């Protein structure tokens, strides 16, 4: 067993954010990325409405993406994790739909000739 002892006086905490990280997260390019991604998700929700997917999924995608697009446009910033909420919901619905189809699939019958 290896034991490493570090005196508490030698531990230094800092909240310094590296300049490149701060510029990337709050820069114009990231703002443009957020707006384009949310706009694309609104269009994706429209495509879900016109396909065979459940109607609630398309409406949820459009409403959540539209609300976040409006909030990011109005406030100019927000937590970047919010961008993945809609894709998480769509992914869970796709997984559940696939599992449901697998459970309803009938085994192929073999006909003797």
What pLDDT was estimated at residue 94?
87
- pLDDT tens digits for 92-109? 998 988 777 766 666 555
| pLDDT confidence bin for 43, thresholds 50/70/90 | very high
Q: What's the average model confidence in pLDDT over 60-74?
A: 89
What pLDDT was estimated at residue 72?
85
Residue ranges of the alpha helices (H) in 1-113? Answer: 19-26, 28-50, 55-75, 85-104
């Amino acid at each position: 067993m290896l034991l490493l002892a570090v005196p508490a006086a030698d531990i230094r905490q800092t909240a310094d954010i590296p300049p490149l990280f701060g510029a990337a997260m709050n820069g114009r390019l990231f703002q443009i990325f957020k707006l384009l991604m949310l706009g694309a998700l609104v269009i994706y929700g429209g495509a879900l409405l016109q396909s065979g997917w459940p109607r609630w999924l398309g409406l949820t995608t459009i409403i959540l993406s539209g609300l976040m697009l409006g909030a990011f446009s109005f406030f100019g910033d927000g937590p970047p994790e919010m961008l993945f909420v809609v894709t998480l919901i769509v992914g869970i619905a796709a997984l559940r739909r696939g599992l449901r189809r697998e459970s309803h699939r009938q085994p192929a019958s073999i006909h003797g000739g």
